[in-house]
A = this chain, B = another copy of it.
Amino acid sequence: MPGSTNFLTKNKSIILYGIFLAIMLLLLKWLELRFILINHAFEIYAGSIAIIFTALGIWLALKLTKPKTILIEKEVFTEKPETFVLNEKEMIRLNISKRELEVLQLMSEGLSNQEIAAKLFVSLNTIKTHIARLFDKLEVKRRTQAVEISKKLSLIP
């Protein structure tokens, strides 16, 4: 830009003087600082040490100490675990066979003997004998009781 170039050439000496003054001022300020530094060298040194080692102390404490942990156990109640596991011990104890358990399962779902027979491709009489044996082993007299008790024993879900 020609405008700014003109300004520079016109006030060259003034600018140079200004710059000189600025430098001198900076130098004086620096010398002042130096003077202060020299005269208070010990205090500055001690202060620096204090600051540095305080920082070191903080760092050490934070880094090397075990974090203070407050363990809060929050109980989460699960609605229904749904994780049915067959109580095999009871099954063995009561001497209930796999087939019988299968019939028991279907019985608990509300199926009639006829429906169970159809589902397992066997005769109604077969289901009746299975159920009769189940009642004997479970020591019950009715299917509703059988369902009740075998649910409590975790033989069925």
Contacts and interface: CB of A to CB of B under 8 A. Distances in A.
Interface in A9-50: 42, 45-46, 49-50
21 contacts: A42-B42, A49-B49, A51-B53, A53-B54, A53-B57, A54-B56, A54-B60, A58-B60, A59-B61, A61-B62, A69-B70, A71-B74, A73-B74, A73-B76, A75-B75, A75-B76, A75-B78, A110-B147, A112-B141, A112-B142, A144-B147
Nearest to A109: B148
Nearest to A110: B145
A72 B75 contact: no
Interface of A: 42, 45-46, 49-62, 65, 67-78, 81, 107-112, 140-149
A interface, over-half SS: helix
Work out how many copies of this chain go into the complex: 2
Contacts of A109: 144, 148
Contact of A69 (B42, B52, B72): B72
Contacts of A71: 70, 72, 74
Contacts of A45: 46
A73 to B, nearest CB: 5
A109 B81 CA distance: 23
Contact of A108 (B46, B55, B58, B148): B148
Contacts of A145: 110
